[in-house]
Amino acid sequence: MDQPADTNAAIWQSKQTAQTWAAEAAARERNHAAQWQFMADLLPFGEQDAFTFADLGAGTGNLSRAILSRSTCRRANGPRRFRPGSMRS
């Protein structure tokens, strides 16, 4: 049985598509900042509790930045090796 061609790969090989996506990245991050912060605020840690979390490297790092913006987070372990203050916008 024939498989359909992967058109997604062709889309990302387009220089214009990649440039447009990159140019709009900052706006997307701003539009979702409140959502990332809300998820970080849902973590079950008090304001004075120190904690470390694991970043699995499955996204853009926006949620990790929101978590690290909490003053109590000590470190994020994962492929990016985040540290508090290192990824703040």
Residue in this structure with the two tokens 């498989």, named with its chain if needed: 3
Judge whether 33 lies within some domain. yes
51 part of a folded domain? yes
65 within some domain: yes
Q: Is the residue at 82 inside a domain?
A: no
* Residue 12 placed within a domain: yes
Q: What is the pLDDT of residues 31-76, one digit of tens each?
A: 888 998 898 888 888 777 888 888 787 777 888 888 888 767 666 6
Higher-pLDDT residue of 2 and 39 is 39
Q: Has residue 85 been placed in a domain?
A: no
Q: pTM value?
A: 0.56
3-class SS of residue 51:
strand
Question: How many structural domains are present in the chain?
Answer: 1
Q: Quick check: is 1 in a domain?
A: no
The residue segments making up the domain with residue 58 are: 8-77
Q: Is 69 in contact with 89 (CB distance < 8 Å)?
A: no
